[in-house]
Amino acid sequence: MSIKVIQSLKDFNKFIESNYSSLIIAYFYETSEWCDTLNKKLDIVFSSNCNGNTKILKIDLGKLGNKSIINECGINSYPIIRLYKYSKPFQEIYCTYPNVDEIVSSFLN
């Protein structure tokens, strides 16, 4: 399973709609120093995805093309992980949990 990197709100909406019945793990983050350790930890978890029905999105909110996603998705703080099913978010995982990697792994195995 490859990790889909989103470059715009249009790409995000298209991916969510086209994977309607799949579990989608969307990781909203920024590529900056304060997020670097978490990004590396979650990249390891995402690369070990064994579940073919689970799709993984990475959305760098620091990129200009993704700024509109913040408003569209109602993101108040990040990094955050949202789970989507049937094109709707149904759960949020705050990245402040010390075991966020274990929580995410539980959805991938």
The pLDDT confidence band at residue 108, using thresholds 50, 70 and 90, is: confident
pLDDT > 60? residue 1: no
CA 86 to CA 78: how far, in whole Å?
23
27-80 pLDDT, tens per residue? 999 888 878 889 889 988 888 876 677 899 999 998 878 888 998 899 988 999
Beta carbons of 61 and 67 less than 8 angstroms apart: yes
Q: Enter the tokens of residue 44.
A: 């390891």
pLDDT, tens only, 89-106: 999 999 888 899 899 988
Note if the pTM is more than 0.75. yes
Strands 54-60 and 3-6: what pairing? Answer: parallel
